[in-house]
Structure 1
Amino acid sequence: YRSRLLDVCQRNDVDLVIPQTTREVGVLGNSLTSFAEQGSRIMASPNAARVNSKASLIEVMEFSPSGLSVVFSVEGLRVAAELHGYPNRSVVVKPAYSSGSRGVRIVTPEPWNVERFLSEKPSGLECDLESLSDMLACGAFPELLVMEYLPGPEYSVDCFRGEHVQIAVPRIRTAMRDGISTDTTIVDEPEMARHALAIAEQLGLTGVYGVQFKANAEGVPCLLEVNPRVQGTMAASVLAGANVIWMGVREVLGEPVTEMPTVRVGTRCVRHWLVSEIGATV
């Protein structure tokens, strides 16, 4: 992928490449020099590849009252699950490298019964610890994160940190599909915005990035993950007056941003998927 993209950039005199997925950041984040040598820039922080691992959250745990464990074995998974309250309460397990909710599981002690079977739609998210342990024992064990299940609202913060300007725009994720916000509204959460900027400063993250929080049972927002790239629904902040993506583009191309945009709190963005007569998704 990297070598072919380098070739495409060279043949087409590409000025800028904008990674949009976790996998791309992992590859391109370590290739900034290679692309720069032939005149192409990557819109990624110099340490994006390191922050791309969700395990980097260990470095900023003061922003997550629920805590976090990184495990490398089935036994480690069992110990961490108990540490975070299982079986008295549910815990969440997810890979250190993933996107779009891939690999995320809510490990719950609650058994399925006829009522749940008939009334709840299957999501594939829930499982019990024994089933998850058996499945993970069937191959190479991946690096996993284990944390308390957070039942409250989820927020995404669209951010930019440049030479002169930094801004964080929180929005509540009212509805999601495959890990992408389908209904999101810009909210006034100044403390969350401050935390999102402080987290990036502590991690050494610059440019465009996103931070996600989710409230625990007490309503306290806890750090969920940091995305060192353009997030899937950053267009919501653009519509609200803060074009953080364009700010990132300008900064990378040597035009430092000096203007602080005005954000319209309450702006709502709703995604719709339409299926055409030939079956194509629009």
Structure 2
Amino acid sequence: MRKIWLNRWFSVAYHYVNLIRNNEDGERFEFYGTHPSIDHVSLSACDVKETEPKVEGEAYIEFCLDFCRRHGIDLFIPRLHMELIARHIGRFEEIGTRVMVCGDMELLENMMNKEKFYRSLEGKGIVDIPNYRVVRTAEQFAQAYRELREAGETVCFKPTEAEGGMGFRIIKEEAGDPLEELYGWVTLETTYEETYRTLSSVESFDDLMVMEMLEGDEYSIDCLADAAGRLLTAVPRLKSEGRVYQLEYSEELLALSRRIAENCRIPYAFNVQVKYNKGVPKLLEINPRMSGGLYITCLSGVNFPYFAVKAAFGEECRPPEPEFGIKASYVEQAVRLDSVRGGSAVSDH
């Protein structure tokens, strides 16, 4: 039985583990999970769980290597410190542990920084890039805002190194009623004046990408590739209203995925996020890992996490043809953790 370890993942790793465990080939695995909180829900899907130390750099690599040695881990699927771990793949291979991560460090570093990645793709005819500027001072922000507004764009901004929606804001053109906003829903909108005032409070700040607001449909394209980065299958997932998603066949988006795969050669599972503006799909970002909504995409009949694991073990992968035209949603699910005082004792590993 092969052993798989997932370090500090999002809660959706609960689904990844169960998808791999309940694979169509009947392959058996033992799952190990670590997180700073022993009660994190992702760990409840694992056979063995441990508390993860809050350390960085070489200390974290030493923790990972020790964990793999102690438990005889066959495959390590990292999320936390993915770039750091990728730099040390050789050290894991020396102790017999495979690592499911992109080993092309230049590519991985580019994907972790939106400015670098956009520049690496510009002018290659692979995917359209939003109109953007990278700023580090309030005056640069003001100039970027003016230029984008003069080009007829609604403006938004986001840190160049941020995961998911962290730091994303939309600049609204008219200030609303402060009292109404206080009593209303929390939004991602802000004003130019408020942003400029905040940014002016310091001489410089971490790189901020000021860009055109993409106002059309948003798609996450979940992609599966072999260890060499050859695309095996892809499924575009449209985010509709609320919690509704649609798995759609789109030759335009599938062709875009093929171009990205051929150019970048990202292995295993990765996710391409695009959003339309004026009829053109433009790149938001590429996540070189399993996406948060991947378990929804698996309703297509393709067990993405399991086939990514097969690819990481160097095995032949022949995923089935995905089913499209599926509308899906999700609900909260109660998950029992370990028993507490008053119940039967359950020990942690």
Q: Give the corresponding residue for 2:190.
A: 127
Q: Which runs of 5+ in 1 are unaligned?
A: 177-181, 277-282
Larger-Rg structure: 2
Partner amino acid, structure 1, of 2:85? L
Aligned mates of 1:137, 1:3 — CA distance in 2: 41
| Alpha-carbon shift at residue 103 of structure 1 (Å) | 0.7
Moved more, 25-34 or 187-196: 25-34
Aligned match for 1:4, one of 48, 63, 73: 63
| Alpha-carbon shift at residue 147 of structure 1 (Å) | 1.4
Q: Quick check: 1:168–1:194 contact (8 Å CA) kept in 2?
A: no
Q: Give the corresponding residue for 1:174.
A: 240
Alignment of 1:198 with 2:282, yes or no, is: no
| Structure 1 pair 45–67 and aligned structure 2 pair: CA distance change class (3 A) | same
Q: Deviations over 1:93-142 (max 9, x none)?
A: 1112212311111122222137963885222x111223223323445611
Aligned mates of 2:196, 2:179 — CA distance in 1: 26
- What is the Cα-based RMSD across aligned positions, in Å? 2.7
Q: Deviations over 1:47-103 (max 9, x none)?
A: 334322222122224522532333333332222222322696421211122123111
| Alpha-carbon shift at residue 260 of structure 1 (Å) | 4.3
Tell me the secondary structure at the aligned position of residue 85 of structure 1: helix
| Structure 1 pair 11–118 and aligned structure 2 pair: CA distance change class (3 A) | closer
Q: Give the corresponding residue for 1:219.
A: 279
Moved more, 222-231 or 166-175: 166-175
Q: Deviations over 1:149-188 (max 9, x none)?
A: 1111111000022256522210101256xxxxx4322001
Aligned match for 1:32, one of 86, 89, 105: 89
Alignment of 1:252 with 2:312, yes or no, is: yes
Q: Which runs of 5+ in 2 are unaligned?
A: 1-59, 336-349
Q: Give the corresponding residue for 1:51.
A: 111
Tell me the secondary structure at the aligned position of residue 35 of structure 1: helix
| Alpha-carbon shift at residue 240 of structure 1 (Å) | 0.8
Aligned match for 2:211, one of 135, 142, 147: 147
Tell me the secondary structure at the aligned position of residue 171 of structure 1: strand
Aligned match for 2:145, one of 66, 76, 81: 81
| Alpha-carbon shift at residue 275 of structure 1 (Å) | 7.3
Q: Give the corresponding residue for 2:72.
A: 13
Q: Quick check: 2:237–2:248 contact (8 Å CA) kept in 1?
A: yes
| Alpha-carbon shift at residue 263 of structure 1 (Å) | 0.8
| Structure 1 pair 223–8 and aligned structure 2 pair: CA distance change class (3 A) | same
Aligned mates of 1:33, 1:256 — CA distance in 2: 23
Q: Quick check: 1:241–1:264 contact (8 Å CA) kept in 2?
A: yes
| Structure 1 pair 26–85 and aligned structure 2 pair: CA distance change class (3 A) | farther
Partner amino acid, structure 2, of 1:136? L
Q: Quick check: 1:60–1:202 contact (8 Å CA) kept in 2?
A: no
Moved more, 96-105 or 106-115: 106-115
Q: Give the corresponding residue for 1:105.
A: 169
Q: Quick check: 2:307–2:319 contact (8 Å CA) kept in 1?
A: no
| Structure 1 pair 41–175 and aligned structure 2 pair: CA distance change class (3 A) | farther
Aligned mates of 1:90, 1:275 — CA distance in 2: 41
Normalising to structure 1: TM-score of the pair?
Answer: 0.83
Aligned mates of 1:34, 1:83 — CA distance in 2: 48
| Identity percentage of aligned residues | 28
Normalising to structure 2: TM-score of the pair?
Answer: 0.68
Partner amino acid, structure 1, of 2:257? A
| Structure 1 pair 201–115 and aligned structure 2 pair: CA distance change class (3 A) | farther
Tell me the secondary structure at the aligned position of residue 314 of structure 2: coil
Partner amino acid, structure 1, of 2:91? S
Q: Deviations over 1:204-253 (max 9, x none)?
A: 4222110011111x232211111111100111222211222222211111
